[in-house]
Structure 1
Amino acid sequence: MEYIFFILGFVILIGGATLLIDGASNIGRRLGIPEGITGLTILAIGTSLPELIINVFASLNGNTDLAVSNVLGSNILNILVIVGITALIKPIPVLKPTYYRDIPFSLFAVGLLFFMVQDGWTMQEGSKIIGRVDGIIFLILLIVFLYIYFRSSSKTPKDEKPGKLRPAWMAIVFILLGIVGLYFGGEWIVEGAVFVASEFGMSEATIGLTIVAIATSLPELVTSIMAAIRKSPEMAIGNAVGSCIFNILLVLGVSSVIHPIPFQSGSIFDLIMVLVATVTLVVFVYTGKGRMISRVEGGIMIGMYGVYLWWILY
């Protein structure tokens, strides 16, 4: 029965996130909020809401290993697998805002997280932690990133044609159903992850780095594959890098403000892997002909993820 609830948790969580985003987007457009603002906000929620809900429940329940590993595993998968598979289908042209703004900020966020878990002022009773002060710093940096995004996006012409609006009552129902789905989905996933870990003798961190990270990244993976098939592969790298930024600044920021998160020494390797994956992306984008991720580079990224999985599982 626990396995059923574990699987249902992912379905309900992703479904709830979809309903909430749909309803919130419709309400935002009805209130006349500019499309540029709602666009990034909804995208940010869409890519990071599953991880955020899981981390909130994990933090409240004291499953801090799951909270950290979920973010690290998702970021590794976003960069190496989502970008890698998309590039294998069709080489990815990297747009100017992505390589001038998003990729450097993503590298900065990863570097800052690495500094915070290594620096002495994050120590508490001999164990490294991501404390409330760290969480507040992350959230402040998120606001800075959003400000930079809106300033740079305001210079880009936008299509002002609004999409078809749902009736207001339907949007509200979607929001309410989405909140309910997020609550039960998040709770069932955390409880299921703890159960699966105990049944198979695996750590919560391993479950978070693999099963939970893969499941919560499925929407981005499917979206990126479809974008590549429809000859718009540039969406994949923008979504992946944006998701990595929000996972660190928003998800870890909110989670650590709710409850300080101990950072176990075993997670240092995974954090280094996030840094390696991000640096690899930087090297591939800024070297070679043009700003492209080629099929060969995509294959290398997939291979790196395969080696990483083998290392943590065996």
Structure 2
Amino acid sequence: MESLWHLFLVALGILLLYLGGEALVRSAVALARAWGVAPAVVGLTVVAFGTSSPELAASLAAALAGSPGIALGNVVGSNILNLLLILGLAALLAPLRAQARFLRQEVPFMLLATLLLFPALWTGGGIGRLEGLLFVGLLLGYIGFLYRATEGAEREVEEEFAREFGGRGRAGLGDYGLLLLGLLLLALGARVLTEGAVALARGLGVPELVIGLTLVALGTSLPEVAASLVAALKREPDIALGNIVGSNIFNILGILGLTALVQPLAFPLAEVARDLGVMLLASLLLWPFLYTGGRLGRREGVVFLLLYLLYLGLLARDLGG
């Protein structure tokens, strides 16, 4: 009975995080546009932060609660899930074709961010404030680079934002209220989810890292799941691919960076080496799959899904052993 209560807390936390993230994105976009912020900047900062805000809230709460395994597992598990499960499902729904710029810029930078985790965990046994500062600095530099690269595409981005978020140019009290509500829901959801996940892990004898890699990762990735699958159905491959790759970059550099600045994550590389290896493999596979044919087809989608099932099988085997 106690385990069911903890599972209910996890589900409630996930729901609150999803609602909070959705409210935050909607209100922040409306406010940013009303303040005259360029749509490209809004897309690269506000929306990217908003869709990853559940991961940030959950990781911060877990780190402050003394559960670095959940904080790190949440990010690594979310990135694995994004690449193998979400892109796999999206490719089955509709082949995802990538632009050359996407291959030259976003995917290699995601690989770089992934590789940075290995020396960070190897040298210090965790991610400290120095590494966190480096991660956040790299993310800010990358956002600045992308902003300069998209300056010529303002009209296209403006039209896309008008379709997605509406064309309002004035902010009302409702927008500020929705922003506050989103932040409150995120804070409450993160606390409830972390409390339930930690108690569930300890009650069932499951390592906190595994809970973070699976249950928490899936729950906090709901915005990416919805956005990418809807984009695939609408035949918007750049949105589906960009959402996943951009989220993975932000998860590593932004979430782990900000979390480490607030509360350093002491965690040995040996305990998460396999999971980091799976994340790196998935990132490496994305590049040749896109580069050879410029697309992720249904065949590649099946490969990604099979790899994710294999990964879940490895986690289950460890628990059984």
Deviations 1:9-64 (A, max 9, x none): 11111101111221111111111111111122122113311110001111111111
Amino acid in the other structure paired with 1:312: L
Instruction: Look up the SS of the partner of 1:172 in the other structure.
Output: helix
Q: Does 1:147 align with 2:144?
A: yes
Aligned-pair CA distance for 1:141: 0.2
Instruction: Give runs of aligned pairs for residues 162-241 of structure 1, distance below 5 A.
Output: 162=162, 163-165=166-168, 168-241=172-245
CA distance 1:301–1:194, change in 2 (3 Å): same
Q: Equivalent of 1:80, from 75, 81, 84?
A: 84
Mapped contact 2:22–2:51 kept (Cα < 8 A): no
Structure 1 window deviating more from structure 2 (237-246 vs 151-160): it is 151-160
Q: Does 1:118 align with 2:115?
A: no
Give the Cα–Cα distance (whole angstroms) in 2 for the partners of residues 297 and 27 of structure 1.
40
Mapped contact 2:34–2:171 kept (Cα < 8 A): no
Deviations 1:270-295 (A, max 9, x none): 111111110111121122x3x11111
Name the residue aligned to 2:299: 296
Aligned-pair CA distance for 1:260: 1.3
Structure 1 window deviating more from structure 2 (36-45 vs 182-191): it is 36-45
Structure 1 window deviating more from structure 2 (251-260 vs 216-225): it is 216-225
Q: Does 1:267 align with 2:272?
A: yes
Give the Cα–Cα distance (whole angstroms) in 2 for the partners of residues 21 and 227 of structure 1.
17
Name the residue aligned to 1:9: 13
Aligned-pair CA distance for 1:89: 1.2
Deviations 1:77-109 (A, max 9, x none): 111111111111111101233211100100011
TM-score by length of 1: 0.93
Name the residue aligned to 2:112: 108
Instruction: Look up the SS of the partner of 1:156 in the other structure.
Output: helix
Deviations 1:234-277 (A, max 9, x none): 32111111011000000000011111112232111111111111
Structure 1 window deviating more from structure 2 (139-148 vs 161-170): it is 161-170
Q: Equivalent of 1:135, from 132, 136, 160?
A: 132
Mapped contact 2:10–2:193 kept (Cα < 8 A): yes
Mapped contact 2:78–2:218 kept (Cα < 8 A): yes
Instruction: Look up the SS of the partner of 2:153 in the other structure.
Output: coil
Instruction: Give runs of aligned pairs for residues 54-65 of structure 1, distance below 5 A.
Output: 54-65=58-69
Q: Does 1:90 align with 2:94?
A: yes
Instruction: Look up the SS of the partner of 1:155 in the other structure.
Output: helix
Mapped contact 1:86–1:233 kept (Cα < 8 A): no
Mapped contact 1:16–1:179 kept (Cα < 8 A): yes
Structure 1 window deviating more from structure 2 (65-74 vs 27-36): it is 27-36
Give the Cα–Cα distance (whole angstroms) in 1 for the partners of residues 25 and 111 of structure 2.
28
- The alignment's C-alpha RMSD in Å is 1.4
Instruction: Look up the SS of the partner of 2:126 in the other structure.
Output: strand
Give the Cα–Cα distance (whole angstroms) in 2 for the partners of residues 59 and 273 of structure 1.
23
Give the Cα–Cα distance (whole angstroms) in 2 for the partners of residues 186 and 232 of structure 1.
31
What fraction of aligned residue pairs are identical, expressed as a percent?
A: 36
Q: Does 1:42 align with 2:46?
A: yes
Give the Cα–Cα distance (whole angstroms) in 1 for the partners of residues 10 and 38 of structure 2.
38
Name the residue aligned to 1:284: 289
Give the number of aligned pairs: 305
